[in-house]
Amino acid sequence: MRAMTRKCSICKELIDLKDANEDFFITPNNKVNHTHCYINEQTTRKRKPKTIEECQAYIEECRQVDREVEKKTNIKTELYEFLFDMYDISYFPKYFYIKMDSVYKGTMKNLSKPVPPEDLLDMWRQKRNYLDKVAEQNRKKGNEISGVNRVNYDLAILLSKYDSYLKWKEQQKIAIAELDESKKRSIEKIEYTDVARPKRVSNTDNKVDINSMLDEI
């Protein structure tokens, strides 16, 4: 596997980003630092030095941001792979990726809110059969759309239904929450009939033989 290397912004040594043994982090302004280099630099500076705990907290924040970025990147990749497969195409022009980024950020014209890639992927999967039917209807009318043009056409359909999708998602959350609460109540609820009733002790078993006690005295 080809190594991906960056220089530590402090010590200037190369860091293999794919090496699990490398202890580094990436800052919000895209600088790569060895963890020990950063801690040493920040705790030994003359003006307002940081504590080791403060350094570690900052490093963890940076890593959390990096994990979120990586997660979004993976979802975008999954979305594009899905589109390649569904529409049987192997290439998207540069403008398409720019357009998709504007969808994710909510800056696309006539779009009132951001549409994250995970929502778009979920909608595309759920509406695949519907979109195929629309395409077939258009073909029968002599308006066949294919390739990237059809992807753009279907994207417009999905975006027009995004508000409805969000309402559906919220309803799903409520339904799941109610189901979980119902299960919880069922587990916690104990019917009297389920409780083992204590055995009734017969009077004969519990009867004290006073005469025998007197004999023992």
Up-side HSE of residue 195: CA atoms within 13 Å toward CB?
6
Say which amino acid occupies 1.
M
- Stated pTM of the model: 0.61
List pLDDT tens digits, range 4-40.
Answer: 899 999 999 999 988 889 999 999 989 999 999 999 9
- Domain layout of the chain by residue ranges: 1-78, 91-181
Q: Chain-wide mean pLDDT for the chain?
A: 86
Residue-level pLDDT at 69: 85
Residue-level pLDDT at 18: 85
Residue-level pLDDT at 135: 95
